[in-house]
Amino acid sequence: MLVVAAALAALVLTGCGLAERDDNMVNGKSLFATKCAACHTLARADAQGVVGPNLDEAWQQADKDGLGRSTYEGLVHQQILHPSNDPQIDPQTGEPYPQPMPANLVTGQDAQDVAAYVADVAAKPGEDGGRLAQVGKQQSQEVAQAEGGSLSIPADPSGALAYEFGSAEAPPGQLTIDSQNEATIPHNIALEGGGVDEIGPEVTGGGVSEIEVDLQPGEYTFYCSVPGHREGGMEGTLTVE
């Protein structure tokens, strides 16, 4: 009986450990999606940012250098906690990345969770499964409707690479399109198609990016022009009819 009890206790403890790790990984991916995906590429997280290092390629180089994933996790964690003031160089172009990592982006256990997630999935083929598959902002299926010559398409307030509307509809004619951004990550609103090419200013912290256009019937694309944001999915279709 003692042996059985000990075995059951071990199973319970193991299960708790697995559940805790699962929670940490989910937290890490969620934070990565809102805090890091705008700047970095990480295929498993559907992140295609270009203003910071490509984390899949960084792991591939670390692997070539003989480093294990646990060491890579430690390197990522240290970079999060102590971002370098020196410009990081893109190995593909030899040019510095345009935007340094801000300090205190995530801290404490959150920083550990982000580093653990990145190290676990970097350069791995396939897609995240289980609970991880559900993490990350998907483009909204809601349709924004123009009213009185104005159309509002706010950015997701969490900072994720998404608008609150995945598409929009408006009648032909003069139209003011605005996009409020509550997040600290810069976003804007831009529109192209049918001879139109308008880009609004980048804004943060409650600012509103705005453009004015004169539209003919047809389909246009609204998007965020901040490098890497459109590639990460921050775009939608405006139908004018």
Closest by alpha carbon to 167, among 96, 94, 238, 233?
238
- What was the pLDDT predicted at 33? 84
pLDDT exceeding 70 applies to what percent of the chain? Answer: 84
Tokens of 20: 């805790």
Tokens of 11: 């199973």
Cα–Cα dist 19/205, whole Å: 35
Tokens of 112: 């550990």
- Residue range 84-140, pLDDT digits in tens: 766 666 666 667 666 677 788 899 999 999 999 999 999 999 999 988 887 865 567
Strand spans (E) along 27-185: 41-42, 47-48, 143-145, 150-152, 167-170, 173-181
Cα–Cα dist 112/78, whole Å: 9
Q: Is the pLDDT of residue 43 over 60?
A: yes
The answer to whether the CB of 136 falls within 8 A of the CB of 46 is yes
The residue-averaged pLDDT of 52-65 equals 93
Tokens of 128: 């995240």
Q: Is the pLDDT of residue 167 over 90?
A: yes
Angle at 236 between CA 201 and CA 30, to 5 degrees: 85
**Ordered structural domains, the chain, with CATH:** 2-134 (1.10.760.10), 143-240 (2.60.40.420)
State the distance between the two ends of the chain, measured CA to CA, in whole angstroms.
76
- What was the pLDDT predicted at 161? 82
The residue-averaged pLDDT of 158-176 equals 92
pTM above 0.75, yes or no: no
- What was the pLDDT predicted at 146? 97
The answer to whether the CB of 192 falls within 8 A of the CB of 224 is no
> How far lies 143's CA from each of 5, 132, 135, 163, 217, in Å?
57, 27, 23, 11, 17
What 3-state class would DSSP assign to 125?
A: coil
- Residue range 178-199, pLDDT digits in tens: 999 998 889 999 999 999 999 9
Residue type, 201: P
Closest by alpha carbon to 56, among 235, 66, 69, 132?
69
Lowest mean pLDDT among 42-51, 133-142, 221-230: 133-142
Closest by alpha carbon to 30, among 100, 144, 101, 110?
110
Q: Is the pLDDT of residue 74 over 50?
A: yes
Tokens of 18: 């697995």
Average pLDDT taken over every residue of the chain = 86
Output phi, psi for 147, to 5 deg: -140, 125
